Structure 1
Amino acid sequence: MKKYFWFFFFTILINSMVFGQDVRVKLKVGYAGSEPFVFHDEKEEGIVIDIWKEIAFGLNKNYELIEFTSVESGIKAIDKHELDILIGPITINSSRAALVNFSQPYYNTELAILAPVLETSFWSVIKPFLSTTFLYAVMGLLIILSIVGFLFWIIEGRKYPEDYGEGFIKGIGSGVWLAVVTMTTVGYGDYAPRTPMGRFVIGSWMVISLILATSFVAGIATTFSQTSSEDKTITSLNHLQNKKVAVPNYKKIIDKIRNSEGIPVPVNDVSEAYEKLMDKKVDAVIYDEIPLQYIFETDKKDDYVLSKKRIEPQYYGFLFPLESDLKRQVDLQIIRLQENQEIRDIVEDWINRN
């Protein structure tokens, strides 16, 4: 009898211990991405890790974190139902949405440009003066001045050789000089038309020269800006012509670089892009603002510049299997964190750690 008593006692004790514990199944949470959203070292940490901890606390869920070297490998695991959720700086796009479920966007960002600072060289200063546009403009102006000088010599030069000089060459030369003085509004007064027809020619030239001078100056200014921009630091999409640019491996971004006449070099993550820039294999990096800003601030160099130009908005979300019941619960937690500005505080905290 005593024997059965102890048996029932230990049975009740063990059952109470088992059922008294939390026996909830742990969520399998994969994570992938780049710093500062995810750090691939011994300790799981980063922006999305902190955000997930807040979400899991709000849901009162147990979980285990599983590291993935790339977002693509994590998506395959989600598609095979090996994970309950994949977290990271995962850009929401249509190709991924066809395979998996996206959460409510937890963070909105844009692309930024990182490029070396290029100093102005002596050649870049004189180069505009040797451009074909500038030379054609000068030649065109000289031809027009010669025509005006020739007309003035025919009308007045031959009639008053004592004022404009004897002979064809001297007469036209004096006419060209009068045309130049008139166009530049210098008005030396050494030559002046006497006949009505001469005054008509010079008066017409005054009006025409105003238009020509304005167009000529505008053309030179355009030439200077277009030519010098080739040697300037890459700070916008307008500077990408014939430049190699490391970009995320997304078709939309690659097409945008090609439309700007740049040469896209797709990379898997921001570290690979940064390494190519340091090795001078590319002329610039265009990547998501936060990862690019973080890696630049960590290893900041004075001869590089980070430009934020509001290029191509990016929306980050978490991934779930298509029929997941967890998605709505996580969405509500993301909205709560956004309303309390906790996600913004987490991001700023990690960025300011540099």
Structure 2
Amino acid sequence: MARMLIGLIFSLLSSPLLAQPAPEVLRVGITEVPPFVIQEPDGRWSGISLELWQQAAERNGYRYELQPLPFDQLLPGLQNGQLDIAVGALTMTAEREALIDLTHPFYRTGLAIGVPAQPDNGWAALRALMSWQSLSLIIGLAALLLIVGTVLWLFERRHNRTQFGDSSLQGMGNGFWWAAVTMTTVGYGDKSPVTFGGRLVAIIWMFAALVMVSTFTAAVTTTLTVGNLQGGLEGPDDLRRAHVATVEGTVSERYLDEQRIRASRYPDLSQAMRAVQSGEAEAVVYDLPILQYRNGELNHGGLRVLPGTFENQSYAFAVPSHSPLREPVSQAILEITAGPAWQQLLERYLGKP
């Protein structure tokens, strides 16, 4: 009986589920992600998450040291024991929860879209005009002009060489020119058929050209109008027809991949936003508060952040699996975010909603 009791106690002590005491000085992993973690010019660190952590640490009597790391090293640092907690703007996902533990969320937001501040409708119209639909229409019209011009030349080649030339290439080229100016009702008069067959072709073509011009004009007008209407992005449903910029290794990248939206990856948000400014991409997708904060730092007026969010998400701190820090930190987060000082903190960094 005594042996069984000793064995039970030993197994409990050796179990990974049993909480181990927290270290005397916590190693806090951070990465710059304004406005949640900001590195000031003098090297100090501030931000929403940093101030929240400082208050939580003070409530629990924690001593800690900050360890700045790239974003992609935070979770591995928790897994291999190099970090005791990661503080920033970590989105709560099932994949991350399977690897580490997450505290109670402290901020809820979602993805947002940034587009050029001044949409270039002229460029959108030009892009629509250069679409395959428009190009196929132009190519088809050119082929018809060549056919009509060639038929006319076949009638005129022996009796009207002065106007249509001696060689086949000259004849077809001059016939093409005649068909084009006749269709547009310009009719310079520099070339005109003299044979019965040629004049019969000319009469038929003049009446047919009236219909052709009306049809072509209506098709081009429709294309340009649609191009102007579709030139701007107004929501997530429009992303499928756009070239989007995002940050690699983030929730926004995963969303774009899942939706099969064409996207270019950039190492950080600032580069992705500058790509939209320079025309390399048509929009950027990222977390709303971070996108808004970074937008204020851009030159030339920044981007236009579309209203509303999608793919809603929550931010939390991360700790190693079965860490004893999870419960006391979560309790502190609940107490701090329930007080009026929390709203004042958010307004100080994000402005009034």
Q: Bin the TM-score by the shorter chain.
A: 0.5 to 0.7
- Asked whether the 8 Å contact 1:112–1:289 carries over to 2, the reply is yes
Partner of 1:292: 291
Partner of 2:103: 103
Partner of 1:46: 47
Residues 39 and 226 (structure 1), Cα distance of their counterparts in 2 relative to 1, 3 Å cut: same
Residues 296 and 74 (structure 1), Cα distance of their counterparts in 2 relative to 1, 3 Å cut: same
Partner of 2:162: none
- What are the within-5 Å matches in structure 2 for residues 111-260 of structure 1? 111-116=111-116, 117-121=118-122, 124=125, 227-232=227-232, 234-249=233-248, 253-254=252-253, 256-257=255-256
Partner of 1:35: 34
- Asked whether the 8 Å contact 2:252–2:286 carries over to 1, the reply is no
In the aligned structure 2, how far is the partner of 1:341 from the partner of 1:301? 36
Q: What one-letter code is carried by the residue in structure 2 that aligns with 1:55? A: A
Offset at residue 306 of structure 1 (A) = 1.1
SS in 2 for 1:64: strand
In the aligned structure 2, how far is the partner of 1:267 from the partner of 1:345? 33
Structure 2 gaps of 5+ residues are: 1-22, 138-221
- What are the within-5 Å matches in structure 2 for residues 333-344 of structure 1? 333-344=332-343
Partner of 1:59: 60
SS in 2 for 1:348: helix
- Asked whether the 8 Å contact 1:30–1:83 carries over to 2, the reply is yes
Offset at residue 333 of structure 1 (A) = 0.5
Q: What one-letter code is carried by the residue in structure 1 that aligns with 2:287? A: D
Partner of 1:350: 349
Q: What one-letter code is carried by the residue in structure 1 that aligns with 2:280? A: K
1:332 paired to 2:339? no
Residues 68 and 120 (structure 1), Cα distance of their counterparts in 2 relative to 1, 3 Å cut: same
- Asked whether the 8 Å contact 1:240–1:260 carries over to 2, the reply is no
Structure 1 gaps of 5+ residues are: 1-23, 136-221
Partner of 1:281: 280
Q: What one-letter code is carried by the residue in structure 1 that aligns with 2:103? A: S
Q: What one-letter code is carried by the residue in structure 1 that aligns with 2:231? A: D
Q: Which has the larger radius of gyration?
A: 1
- Asked whether the 8 Å contact 2:78–2:84 carries over to 1, the reply is yes
1:315 paired to 2:309? no
SS in 1 for 2:326: helix
Offset at residue 68 of structure 1 (A) = 0.9
- Alpha-carbon RMSD across the aligned residues, in angstroms, is 3.4
- Asked whether the 8 Å contact 2:296–2:302 carries over to 1, the reply is no
- Asked whether the 8 Å contact 1:240–1:262 carries over to 2, the reply is yes
Name the % identity.
23
In the aligned structure 1, how far is the partner of 2:74 from the partner of 2:121? 46
For residues 91-132 of structure 1, the C-alpha deviation after alignment (integer angstroms, 9 at most, x for no partner) is 11122112111111111111111111214339849x79x989
Partner of 1:154: none
In the aligned structure 2, how far is the partner of 1:272 from the partner of 1:95? 27
- Asked whether the 8 Å contact 2:125–2:224 carries over to 1, the reply is no
Offset at residue 56 of structure 1 (A) = 1.0
Offset at residue 259 of structure 1 (A) = 6.8
Residues 74 and 239 (structure 1), Cα distance of their counterparts in 2 relative to 1, 3 Å cut: same
Offset at residue 25 of structure 1 (A) = 1.6
Count of aligned pairs: 241
Offset at residue 90 of structure 1 (A) = 0.7
